[in-house]
């Protein structure tokens, strides 16, 4: 238990520290990139600080503004247990400086708030966008949903909810909006939470005890001690299995772009995602980045990270059929 706790603290400290140090760099200032940030806008009533989002948008005087700009809902990672919209400021800035209005959403974290609390929250954020996105100059007809790691899981499950007629109340709320995103970007996703041992079974030499502890921590925190038991209520914790099943979508699924490093233990989830989407004849593009670790694209000092951002944005230009120049 001490080993697991120490490992979790180390992971949180690394990514939280990296985000904090990055903010100290002069180039981290949104104003230097023609971007303004509106902090802590509440998408659900009450006083829970997790029920807030930040809006990153191009300043109106920067660049051509022919009508509204494409909307992007960003869902942060952190194993459903750590990190926040604030640690993921880079994602909001990176997309906003290419012309998106970015809604960087916070959500309740496990284990205090286990599944499906996070899905309830990001669904509520999507509902809020339906009524308020236009106020911020965002065009929901060009909606993108993006996230990395656990955020990729939530982004994929949310996209599924807009296309499949499902029994869960949060899925029904998303489906009732009648809006399917144009694109989904599930980067380095953990897409099957109920079986954290699957990577070790397949390639035990790649999964050491530290890594296996983190995978178990994610599963236990998000789903609880009964996570290994079959439970239909947990299907959207495993969006990969939904897409691999014979369940039929009522509406066509959006286009997907997924990127992952080949040194990432979660690599196989992205491979399976691409296979499942292709089997459904969904537009799916995937990029594998040699020797890159989990969430490498957040470390933009790496050449591979910069390549990954280029590939994401090129994909979005093709799908949205509009240029995304630097503002």
Q: What is the pLDDT of residues 194-215, one digit of tens each?
A: 999 999 998 888 899 999 999 9
pLDDT at residue 63, rounded to an integer: 52
pLDDT at residue 227, rounded to an integer: 63
pLDDT at residue 225, rounded to an integer: 76
pLDDT at residue 174, rounded to an integer: 98
pLDDT at residue 108, rounded to an integer: 98
Helix axes 2-23, 89-96, angle to 10 degrees: 40
- The segments of the chain whose pLDDT lies below 50 read none
pTM value surpassing 0.85: yes
pLDDT tens for residues 174-190?
A: 999 999 999 999 999 99
Residues 6+ apart with CB under 8 A from 112: none
pLDDT at residue 246, rounded to an integer: 97
Omega before 176 cis (within 30°)?
no
pLDDT at residue 15, rounded to an integer: 58
pLDDT at residue 60, rounded to an integer: 82
Query: How wide is the angle at C-alpha 105 spanned by C-alphas 293 and 23, nearest 5°?
Result: 60
Question: Which domains are assigned to the chain?
Answer: 2-320 (3.40.50.1820)
Q: Which DSSP letter does residue 70 get?
A: E
How buried is 161 (Cβ within 10 angstroms: 0-12 exposed, 13-18 middle, 19+ buried)? buried
Do the Cβ atoms of 157 and 77 come closer than 8 Å? no
pLDDT at residue 23, rounded to an integer: 66
């Amino acid at each position: 238990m001490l080993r697991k706790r120490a490992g979790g603290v180390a992971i949180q400290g690394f990514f939280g520290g990296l985000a904090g140090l990055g903010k100290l760099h002069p180039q981290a200032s949104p104003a230097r990139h023609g971007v303004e940030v509106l902090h802590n806008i509440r998408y659900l009533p009450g006083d829970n600080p997790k029920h807030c989002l930040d809006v990153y948008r191009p300043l109106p005087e920067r660049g051509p503004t022919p009508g509204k700009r494409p909307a992007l809902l960003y869902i942060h990672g952190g194993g459903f247990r750590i990190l926040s919209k604030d640690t993921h400021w880079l994602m909001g800035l990176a997309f906003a400086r290419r012309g998106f209005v970015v809604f960087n959403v916070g959500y309740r974290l496990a284990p205090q708030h286990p599944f499906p609390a996070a899905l309830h929250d990001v669904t509520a954020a999507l509902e809020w966008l339906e009524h308020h996105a236009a106020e911020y100059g965002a065009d929901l007809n060009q909606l993108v949903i993006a996230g990395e790691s656990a955020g990729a899981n939530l982004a994929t499950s949310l996209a599924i909810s807009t296309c499949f007629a499902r029994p869960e109340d949060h899925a029904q709320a998303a489906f009732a909006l009648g809006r399917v995103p144009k694109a989904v970007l599930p980067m380095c996703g953990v897409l099957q939470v109920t079986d954290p041992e699957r990577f070790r079974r397949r390639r035990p030499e790649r999964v050491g005890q530290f890594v296996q502890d983190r995978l178990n921590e994610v599963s236990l925190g998000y789903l609880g001690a009964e996570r290994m038991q079959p439970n239909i209520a947990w299907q959207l914790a495993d969006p990969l299995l939904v897409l691999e099943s014979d369940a039929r979508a009522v509406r066509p699924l959006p286009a997907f772009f997924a990127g992952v490093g080949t040194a990432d233990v979660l690599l196989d989830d992205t491979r399976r995602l691409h296979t499942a989407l292709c089997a459904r004849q969904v537009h799916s593009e995937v990029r594998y980045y040699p020797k890159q670790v989990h969430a490498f694209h957040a470390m933009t000092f790496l050449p591979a990270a910069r390549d990954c951002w280029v590939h994401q944005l090129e994909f979005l230009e093709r799908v949205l059929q509009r240029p995304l120049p630097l503002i």
